[in-house]
Structure formats: C-alpha cells, structure tokens
C-alpha cells in the first residue's frame, strides 16, 4: 500500500507539542482506499530525547480487521504507539518503542534510524505487529518500513 501523510501542529510550548495527522492509504492490489487520523503528543524532555505517544484511528468502516486480513489493513489499523527518539550529535536519530494494535489484539513495536537534513528526513525502521511471531511477514511478523519526511 502507498500512503501520504500530513501533520498539523495544534499546540506547542517549550516542552510539549500536540499535532493532528491524516493518512489516506491506497492499495493497488485491492483497489481500495483507507483513511486514518492520528493524534500525536510529543514531549521534549531534554536536548537528547523526544518522547512521542500517538493514537492512530482507522476510519474505514464495514470491515473487521483480523489476523487473516492483508497487510494494508493491518498497517492502517487502530493502534496506540509510544516512541523515544534519541538525537545524535549530527541530528540523526535512533527511534524505538512499543505499540498495541486494537484490531488484532497484539503488542508490537519498532526500531529505526532516521537520517536528518534541514528540511528532509529518511528513516529505515524494523516494525513488528506482533513481537511473538519471529518471522518476516508484514501481516503478523516483522517487516522493514522506509519513510521519507519533508519539513517546511
């Protein structure tokens, strides 16, 4: 599946940021759209780490997401995720944290590296929808997720 996401900052202080995001996602295989709204809470606790909590709400109605569904539906499922970004001296980042997928009732998470430039970031992340399933499988196991981020 392919998606395009954007985020709008709704509140910011010296230590906290709240943002609202939207991600339309299109599956060429299934020829359908899915919509997701995200709420982000970011905490800037010190100059080396940023802590994130995000809630991803699936807006597609009428389909129950199960373990047998395709990866497009699993990746756009309703979930809550916590992340910590460790900021290196060159502004690149290491990101990691757990997640809980409400549809398939599983605990997963992510571990990744973010290359940072002034207005552009590239990330490569190992993601899991279910930590207990030790295989490379985007539905129920581990998979690699590339990420490109433009800031302006």
Place of tokens 């299109």: 26
Interval 91-102: pLDDT, tens: 999 999 999 988
Report how far residue 114's alpha carbon sits from residue 87's, in angstroms, rounded to the nearest whole number.
9
- Which pLDDT belongs to residue 115? 97
Rounded to 5 degrees, φ, ψ at 115 are -90, 125
Q: Name the nearest CA neighbour of 30 among 95, 87, 74.
A: 74
As a whole number, mean pLDDT of residues 111-131 equals 93
- Which pLDDT belongs to residue 15? 94
**What pairing do the DSSP bridges indicate for beta strands 16-27 and 79-87?**
unpaired
30-34, 65-69, 104-108, 147-151: range with lowest mean pLDDT: 65-69
Give the pLDDT band of residue 130 (cuts 50, 70, 90): confident
Instruction: Name the pTM for this structure.
Output: 0.79
């Amino acid at each position: 599946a392919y998606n395009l996401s954007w985020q709008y900052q709704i509140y910011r202080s010296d230590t906290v940021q709240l943002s609202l995001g939207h991600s339309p996602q299109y599956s060429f295989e299934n020829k359908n759209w899915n919509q997701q709204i995200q709420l982000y809470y970011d905490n800037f606790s010190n100059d080396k780490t940023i802590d994130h909590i995000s809630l991803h709400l699936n807006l597609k109605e009428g389909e129950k997401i199960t373990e047998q569904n395709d990866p497009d539906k699993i990746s756009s499922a309703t979930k809550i995720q916590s992340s910590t970004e460790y900021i290196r001296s060159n502004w690149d980042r290491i990101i990691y944290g757990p997640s809980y997928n409400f549809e398939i009732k599983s605990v997963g998470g992510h571990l990744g590296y973010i290359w940072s430039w002034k207005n552009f970031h590239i990330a490569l992340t190992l993601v899991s929808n279910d930590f207990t399933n030790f295989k490379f499988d985007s539905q129920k196991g581990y998979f690699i997720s590339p990420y490109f981020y433009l800031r302006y």
